[in-house]
Structure 1
């Protein structure tokens, strides 16, 4: 087996045929579906995503073979760590995206190719993601139908045709002369002599601090062992590079040492892996050689002196927002909310990836819009804040609005954002905006008010910053149709692929075509099967107003994300991180859209973070446990809170799991029973019942209609109970009545205790069953 370097060594795959897993039904089914997809016409291929993955290479059998093939070490960094089945060429949307309408298809046909599966540690695989740089962004021709048919019919799991791209990554199963590309230091450092070496360091993050430290420890240990053997006159034995952790790097380091010694002694030494130990032993045996080796060992502690190629500029990971804290901001005196994590894809159960999301509920003037404005201001640039044309002081809480007549305003408000890496950003708002804390690698922000419309005279571009409509209701979004018509073909196809989940909510669609002569886009739908189908074209402007409002907003986000990327560094929309803020997400939408809007948005941009507000319970569909928060205005009594404002807003998060609620339950759930304005009819009904019960307790006479309403409530309670004694029914009825009388105006803590007390009373009453 050849061994000669890094990435760190060459690995010969010929002795490791495809595991049986690559010939099983899941692999074959995926090849069949891909073949059918690739037989579609070019326009459909360009706008449709390929079939979902059925096959996963991460089986126990495959991982076991990978451990043998790569000798228990990561193929890219040589760490001894648990190996994962990593696809060297990504399964789809390889980055940077190719300049092609088919950029999403690279390299979907290699998902079931054993030759594309490498053993990688979690750090290298996590760093690489979908990156696979190639010369001039040219990834070559797609495979032919004949090649795909052969791959399917052979059912062996090995793609037998040469790759058409010109990779700029070192391949440990193809390349062997790694000394031409990479150099190592005794302190664990790594440098590149070529662009391929530099890209490899960048893609797999081979200069990460933890890896540098681990390499340095091993290199020092190996050097100490080597010196001990040389001093004892023993032929070096610790040079079994294939077995050693970081053995390829250690070999290149010793090769560098002999290069320095040879230069000093004017000698050329044999430096093949199986010869290098003997050469070092002979050099050490000579006084001059020993001295030269000692000097060389010291010299290689630092980087090589010859010209190197710098790795591409590292782009820090976009910081992930995890919590928001506001103080004295508009109606929010002191409030903190946490952002739940994103939903990861799980191919084994068919679950798609979904963006992190938080849905904010609450009555009018409870601060729902305020929390969105706070985040938008904190994440925006100063010039964007200025373009909003709002005085900073207008964002500071006015005590009179919270019952504090005559009290002075605070000098400032603050918005504090916390990120997953522990960093914080604080925006202090007084007579001006002052930023404190971390300022780099912040996520781009897009914010939208309840009025999200465009008109024929809409601007060609959205006002600067993509947040204006949240602060100014008269602002219009850019016309999405006009924007799409101006896109290059590859960008147009990319946008339509991202919009698939939005279009499908409106109804079936096949493709979207540009109708340049008529300055419009057409949604094309196929009716019928086989050769007898017909195409029906619908102008984009003819779709529902709700669909147009969603389209305008999503296209505004996509336009902003495209603008942020260089053509040479373009990523898929599904990989871009951003914060998206939407006020009254249900605005302009009919019920079907309301029930699907959050899910659709989350799947269009799965790496984004979406914070939205709503008055409509149907929008809870698409949310998961702990992803909903209720803002509730509560009254604070002076005796209990001396000096505090009489009214405050609390965030109520102890809510039932919305995933378990039916539509009927959503419409009558306690998420909305705390509201007083713009909430479901059930709230008014419950509020009236509470008032009637209070009046009845005070012996106030009730009208016939009011008595009938209470009788109906008693009947509803009786119908909900199992058959039993009237005493049980009375006890449950009393518990419900007490709850209805005391629930309104209760703060989050009191309401939680009240519900628990009521629940316990009902359980106690039913204990006899």
Structure 2
């Protein structure tokens, strides 16, 4: 992070956006985005990740839709709405930093009064570094591995809140500093060659990626007389005598790092159920970054990465795959790892060894949460009665998990609505019902009722208000033209309402608004839903719970609507019956349903059942480079059947091309890997050449 110099007076492009008769959402105005990205050096002002693949967004220093003070847990729904169009409050963030920042705004003390002017706002004792007002370089240093080490309280709070030491960032910074170090050595050894000097200056100017670590490294080299100071460095390193840490020895820096690592370990030791640990829980965002599953049930060796989502809010992942391939096992593995030891002993009524793959001797499940240094891991072997592991005793996040059967409760069933931090019973026992919505909403105190009802109302297609009548004993839904009792709504609505209420029943235990964070696992999200609901379900849940991470499975292409790039994974079995996950998939947005069904998402050859069966057998035979007589006879017979449906081309040119493609796709299907574009052209040329010789014979 480096200082970004912002003029006090707004730029003309900002005024043009503000003065527009109907100013749109700040991120939907492409011209404004382009101008402001350029103004902020085309990179995230916090982590310095450069613009690439549409990874940057315009956000706000002080959140405008409610603020959470992570120091004392205070939440204000009104802060800081009046700064939505304030020049000094907007900035450029990468998706990861924007997601981590969310509505967090740490302050020593209280929020300023509502609608305060800048003079009053500046009196707040903010703890998040502001690249426009602070000198970030004075608050931290870097180690040789690319890790950011805080030197001040502001530095620590900023690094922790934005997760500025996430592994991907450390790796990128390390790569940059290796190249930069080589450049510095070339400059030194070339007797200050002008070309090397110009390259050095370009690398430390504000537009360069990860400028902060390069400037720090250059300062260290100058300070240690490893490289001569040059006047061309002056705009960025004004005077060698003012170099950061000039009087701090290397040993002192090591001690500062060791102290910081100890603090991280303390911060990571918390229990979400313990009120005393609330500030640790709220201090940073906790989403699943990746999971590794080894020998859990039928899953022998699996890794799923959740970090590629392009969502500004919480990331989603929809897992597709045939029945029996292990989708439900993935959800169970995540749930068991995250629910905490007390819940595990209550829910899992069989020995841990029962979850071990029959052919293996030991296994583990490892779940890496953002904002945590080490993964949560459970381990088990043939003799395990309970799950061992690391970081697995205390629950760290709020989690809910649902199986494919989500029953509504029978009338008269009692529920004392005891606070829960892990509501996962339904995933392991299909007879565990969802919450009794009417009883629960009637039981809630007014303040909690108001919070919960907002989430439920956001699920509906139509504008609706949930009201309590008859001394709060009856729940009704007020639509524009009617008032309907809960029991009179459709079964689809009642199931979705029960799901939303179930989620809020857990979330409200730690969050003071519906804007809650947690993880929800749902098996067969599409089960028993009307097609309209299948199309809308992701969008509706996203709207109601924008900061909850959903991981779901589905068999329905309609359910993919509402998912963003890199939010779909396909679980398949290879030729050795080993499970593997395909995540590098084409964008499904804009695809027709038939295209989705015949794409990598669902893997059908054709939407006609009889053709799908023919293609499956046809491809299973084409994988043989030298088919025997009986195999060749069957291939010829299947090609005659496909020709009836005009699936093999009408001209000789088309037939050559289709045959080449079919052979390639058969090979791809057999190996369960995607087309390698680099080798695709050469392979097709080889196949066509082979077929040409066959036709000539």
Q: TM-score, normalised by structure 1?
A: 0.56
Match in the other structure for 2:502? 556
Distance 1:168 1:583, change over 3 A: same
Match in the other structure for 2:250? none
Match in the other structure for 2:319? 360
Distance 1:62 1:398, change over 3 A: closer
Task: Report deviation, 1:330.
Answer: 1.3
C-alpha separation in 2, matches of 1:64 and 1:622: 30
Match in the other structure for 1:716? 645
Match in the other structure for 1:537? 483
Other structure's SS at 1:664 match: helix
C-alpha separation in 1, matches of 2:12 and 2:543: 34
Say if 1:91 and 1:107, in contact at 8 Å, map to a contact too: yes
Deviations 1:218-242 (A, max 9, x none): 9xx99xxxxxxxxxxxxxxxxxxxx
Residue number among 336, 345, 364 corresponding to 1:414 in the alignment: 364
Say if 2:108 and 2:125, in contact at 8 Å, map to a contact too: yes
Task: Report deviation, 1:116.
Answer: 5.8
Residue pairs, 1:310-329, within 5 angstroms: 315=281, 317-329=284-296
Match in the other structure for 1:262? none
Aligned length: 563
Match in the other structure for 2:199? none
Task: Report deviation, 1:109.
Answer: 2.7
C-alpha separation in 1, matches of 2:240 and 2:30: 28
Distance 1:103 1:521, change over 3 A: farther
Match in the other structure for 2:555? 615
1:657 aligns with 2:613: no
C-alpha separation in 2, matches of 1:322 and 1:435: 22
1:588 aligns with 2:528: yes
C-alpha separation in 1, matches of 2:572 and 2:92: 52
Deviations 1:183-210 (A, max 9, x none): x99xx9989xxxxxx9999689899999
Residue number among 413, 429, 433 corresponding to 1:476 in the alignment: 433
Say if 1:595 and 1:618, in contact at 8 Å, map to a contact too: yes
1:453 aligns with 2:407: yes
Task: Report deviation, 1:65.
Answer: 11
Say if 2:320 and 2:570, in contact at 8 Å, map to a contact too: yes
Residue pairs, 1:222-621, within 5 angstroms: 315=281, 317-345=284-312, 353=313, 355-393=314-352, 395-397=354-356, 399=358, 410-419=360-369, 423-430=374-381, 431-439=384-392, 442-455=396-409, 456=411, 457=413, 459-461=415-417, 465-503=422-460, 507-517=461-471, 519-526=473-480, 535-565=481-511, 570=512, 572-574=513-515, 576-621=516-561
C-alpha separation in 1, matches of 2:441 and 2:40: 46
Deviations 1:72-110 (A, max 9, x none): xx9x9xx9xxxx99856531212259xxxx954433233
C-alpha separation in 2, matches of 1:516 and 1:139: 40
**Pairwise CA RMSD of aligned residues?**
6.2
Gaps of 5+ in 1: 1-7, 34-50, 68-73, 144-158, 174-183, 192-197, 223-242, 251-300, 302-310, 346-352, 400-408, 527-534, 637-646
Say if 2:289 and 2:307, in contact at 8 Å, map to a contact too: yes
Task: Report deviation, 1:542.
Answer: 2.7
Say if 1:579 and 1:609, in contact at 8 Å, map to a contact too: yes
Gaps of 5+ in 2: 49-56, 131-138, 141-148, 171-211, 224-237, 246-255, 257-266, 268-277, 622-627, 693-697
C-alpha separation in 2, matches of 1:160 and 1:540: 46
Distance 1:89 1:624, change over 3 A: closer
C-alpha separation in 2, matches of 1:416 and 1:337: 11
1:669 aligns with 2:612: no
Return the structure number with greater relative CO, CA threshold 8 A, min gap 6: 1
Task: Report deviation, 1:592.
Answer: 1.4
C-alpha separation in 2, matches of 1:367 and 1:323: 17
Distance 1:363 1:165, change over 3 A: same
Other structure's SS at 2:571 match: strand
C-alpha separation in 1, matches of 2:563 and 2:94: 33
Task: Report deviation, 1:612.
Answer: 1.2
Task: Report deviation, 1:379.
Answer: 0.9
Task: Report deviation, 1:356.
Answer: 1.7
Task: Report deviation, 1:470.
Answer: 0.4
Distance 1:394 1:516, change over 3 A: farther
Other structure's SS at 2:310 match: coil
Task: Report deviation, 1:397.
Answer: 4.0
> For structure 1, which segment, 448-457 or 376-385, has the greater mean C-alpha deviation from structure 2 after superposition?
448-457
Match in the other structure for 2:653? 728
C-alpha separation in 2, matches of 1:551 and 1:385: 27
Other structure's SS at 1:502 match: coil
Say if 1:717 and 1:733, in contact at 8 Å, map to a contact too: no
Say if 1:88 and 1:118, in contact at 8 Å, map to a contact too: yes
Distance 1:103 1:333, change over 3 A: same
Say if 1:22 and 1:112, in contact at 8 Å, map to a contact too: no
